[in-house]
Structure 1
């Protein structure tokens, strides 16, 4: 089973930034280790917004030190590109023009004016396994943890 970590940027990245980050992610995944041994890992940038790290736990599971190294790597990406990846109060949702990204206040305003409603598709970046990406990553607002936050 593949364990995943999803990090969402606080803004859509440019195509050039996306290409650079994609290359950096590949290089990181190739050298990512646990206790000095390589992990069976991959990393990708999706939609110029989401960084997804994957580890095949049947080969070896990531542990404290390897997770710390991924956080250090991602903090470097934040610094280099002027983005935030660890702010869980940034929300992504599907809009007519693509994917929208807003902070908590912005999300609340979009709810109030009806731009976002119970059927709006939102991204649940708290999922932890690759198989969940099919049916639990992008879900209607009314089924998401977000709904509990904005009652």
Structure 2
């Protein structure tokens, strides 16, 4: 696995969000699994230059330098298989795209399904200034600048 900082801003990103936060012990266990996976990740027999990690004890993120070696369909499938293993082992849902994460404070992230998210907004428990996570970003540059955004400027605003 390469250091996150070594990857170019054009690197491809995949984000998987858990419907609940992992404990610190679970995060350490998952990160160990991710590091082992990335250390052996290959595409057509060539090593994939990548980083994987967890942010906010909730988001599993893969960053891949496609200019070095673009992951093939089979290698992408193997990364999805790791996420499914994590999902099963930790008893979480990592594939619900209508589970929206938002910041409560600088280090606490909560999530809600679409209906509950709308109720939170209507009851002013979250507002246009609340930071939400745009898990649809596709590059490292966007991860760093467009992943954490104000609800009012995000596509999430269409869901409230």
TM-score tier, shorter chain, comes to over 0.9
How many residue pairs are counted as aligned between the two chains? 150
Higher normalized strand content (fraction of residues): 1
5+ long unaligned stretches in structure 1: none
Q: Report the counterpart of residue 74 of structure 1 in structure 2.
A: 83
Which whole-Å CA distance do the structure 2 matches of 1:148 and 1:60 have between them? 37
| Aligned with residue 21 of structure 1, among 22, 27, 30 | 30
Q: Report the counterpart of residue 116 of structure 2 in structure 1.
A: 106
| Aligned with residue 126 of structure 1, among 136, 143, 146 | 136
User: Larger deviation: 6-15 or 55-64?
Assistant: 55-64
Q: Does 1:63 align with 2:72?
A: yes
TM-score (norm 1): 0.95
Which whole-Å CA distance do the structure 1 matches of 2:49 and 2:115 have between them? 39
Show CA shifts across 1:18-66 (max 9, x none): 0100100101111111112110011001110000001111101112111
5+ long unaligned stretches in structure 2: 1-9
Q: Report the counterpart of residue 145 of structure 1 in structure 2.
A: 155
Asked if 1 retains the 8 angstrom alpha-carbon contact of 2:100 and 2:112, the reply is yes
CA shift, 1:128, in A, is 0.5
Which whole-Å CA distance do the structure 2 matches of 1:74 and 1:134 have between them? 22
Which whole-Å CA distance do the structure 1 matches of 2:112 and 2:132 have between them? 11
User: Larger deviation: 91-100 or 8-17?
Assistant: 91-100
| Aligned with residue 96 of structure 2, among 76, 87, 94 | 87
Which whole-Å CA distance do the structure 1 matches of 2:159 and 2:72 have between them? 30
